[in-house]
Amino acid sequence: MLGVDELQAILVEAFPGNEVPRVEEASTESVLLCLPATERHGRPGGTLSGPAMMMLADTAAWLAIMTRVGPVLLAVTTSLHIDFLRKPALSDLMARTRLLKLGRKLAVVDVELFSRGTTDPVAKAQVTYSLPSSTPPADESSSITP
């Protein structure tokens, strides 16, 4: 399993020169990421932009998969569905993941986005990743039912 430090190093290395989210927690069950919001992430009305929220959801899903299969940097997003539920404050945005399915070729991750210090979700995303053929096969316990 990859931990907080390993996942953070992967982000920094994979996206050199870019501001990356901060990995706060990591386990095989869940990843917690933080996007320290700045005016650059905002939009008119004093809220976070949709693209900033989608980026965090996508990044969180990618890292959640890596906690289970290792550093699979060439996994790619095949689908990202997001529902914006309420207006987030222009403050730290948090993402918590739950792996729904890990197969040989596809992984599906549920991501809940919320503002730091609150429990009400501001958005909910489901992200599907295509895994490269060199990814170790998942065992039967990898398919998680809610």
Give 17-37 pLDDT, tens digit per residue. Answer: 888 999 999 998 999 999 998
Taking residues 69-78, report their average pLDDT: 89
**Which CATH number does the domain housing residue 82 bear?**
3.10.129.10
Lowest mean per-residue pLDDT among 7-11, 41-45, 51-55, 110-114: 41-45
Work out how many domains the chain is built from and give that number. Answer: 1
Lowest mean per-residue pLDDT among 4-8, 48-52, 76-80: 48-52
Q: Which domain holds residue 126?
A: 4-142
pTM of the model: 0.87
Q: Are 85 and 42 in contact (CB under 8 A)?
A: no
3-class DSSP state of 34: strand
Question: What are the C-alpha distances in Å from 24 to residues 8, 31, 87?
Answer: 9, 8, 23
Q: Residue 81's beta-bridge partner residues?
A: 126
Question: What are the C-alpha distances in Å from 62 to residues 1, 26, 116, 120, 133?
Answer: 14, 12, 21, 23, 16
